[in-house]
Amino acid sequence: MEFEKLADTLKALADPTRLKIISLLRTRDCCVCELVPIFNISQPAISKHLSRLKTAELVHETRKGQWVFYSLNEKKLEETGFALNHLPDLSEKLKELEKQGLLVRCE
């Protein structure tokens, strides 16, 4: 389960446009119409990228009048970087293999 969830979050991050959006949100909360002129893609494309980030809980949205402002969830971003270097331990699987004599012995 843990691996699936982390993989989902990493998928949300694994796109240059979304990484750039995250970098921009680090500077300042932004609404969709501010992000659109920065990228060479359409408004719906930006909107979908933000929606993907929101589903992954990497950003938070707040409506202010006719605008929707997006802000970065820095905690989630930090957690993800941390998780990469602290993956759940699967050494049990290797111990099981060893019991079954399935580990390769060379040299």
Binding site for a copy of itself (CB under 8 A): 3-4, 6-8, 10-11, 13-16, 19-20, 22-24, 26-28, 30-31, 33-34, 37-38, 64-65, 67, 77-78, 80-82, 84-85, 87-91, 93-94, 97, 102-104, 106-107
Please name the amino acid found at residue 98. E
Q: Is residue 17 close enough to count as binding DNA by CB under 7 A?
A: yes
Dist. CA 46–CA 51, nearest whole Å:
9
Q: Residue 44 touches which of DNA, a copy of itself, none (CB < 5 to 8 A by kind)? A: DNA
Round to whole Å and give the CA distance between 9 and 13: 6
Burial profile 71-89: b = 16 or more Cβ within 10 angstroms, e = fewer: ebbeebbeebeebeeeeee
Examine residue 81 and tell whether it contacts DNA (CB under 7 A).
no
CB of 52 to DNA, least distance (A): 6
How far apart are the C-alpha atoms of 41 and 24, rounded to whole Å? 16
Instruction: Give me the least distance between CB of 43 and a copy of itself, in Å please.
Output: 14
